[in-house]
Amino acid sequence: MMSATDQDKRLHYLESMGIQVWAHRGPKSGQDRNRQAPVAEPGAVEDNSAATAGQDDIAGLEWEVLRERVLSCTRCDLHKQRTQAVFGVGNHSAQWLIIGEAPGADEDRQGEPFVGRAGKLLNNMLLAIGLRRAEVYIANIVKCRPPNNREPAPEEAQSCAPYLARQIALIKPKIIIALGRVAAQNLLKTDSPVGSLRGKRFYYEQSDIPIIVTYHPAYLLRSPQEKRKAWQDLLAAQELFSSL
């Protein structure tokens, strides 16, 4: 059970997210939970495997060599304009894996994902469910910043897919959170919008690692009215994680 101090901290982080907090009315029945968050069985999503083309020997690399390979990567044209590749950051044994879209300008300069305003919001989102940034692992669908912060092209995401697949294999997370449309669509191999993917449980490839989809923090900064939905997604992820 969460202590009064932890509850106070959660309220503080929710307020930092811009979410008004109402009194908790008790847990919903299992029937209600199932109706609000239908579960997709493993394999129910259309081919959720990572891209296999051009994987070379990436699938056998260990952390340090994998990182060096990413930092010197020229697999797609994104490398031509980057300041540096953004490998990922966090606990190599993390139980939670957070996957976003691509580095932005701040990330390209600093070499770390989610370091700008969206990163601060992500930190507060994690703290609101009792997670520190250092406890999770954070990565992106692509490792280099697309020009003018455009979304990654399909071929760019495909070029980076073996790197992300190897990170997932090394981390062996218990749960994956997909932040935003680009992350969700690439992980799930779908063109469905985020709104239709929220509240459902998917699985990574043919594994038993569940994927929960929610809004990207950058989108939440533009559309703060959606923060409560993101909070609901985090609570669902926390409940699911507790049952694993």
Spatial CA neighbour of 94 closest among 172, 203, 205, 190: 172
Angle between the N-to-C axes of helices 154-171 and 63-71, in degrees from 0 to 180, rounded to the nearest 10? 160
Q: What is the pTM of this model?
A: 0.81
pLDDT at 110: 96
E strands, 10-149, are 89-90, 96-100, 137-140
Distance of CA 148 to CAs 78, 87, 104, 223, Å? 12, 20, 9, 21
pLDDT digits (tens, 9 = 90+) for 199-212: 999 999 889 999 99
Distance of CA 66 to CAs 121, 186, 220, Å? 29, 21, 32
DSSP 8-state symbol, 21: -
pLDDT at 80: 96
Domain 57-243: give its CATH superfamily: Uracil-DNA glycosylase-like domain (3.40.470.10)
Residues of the chain with pLDDT under 50: 21-54
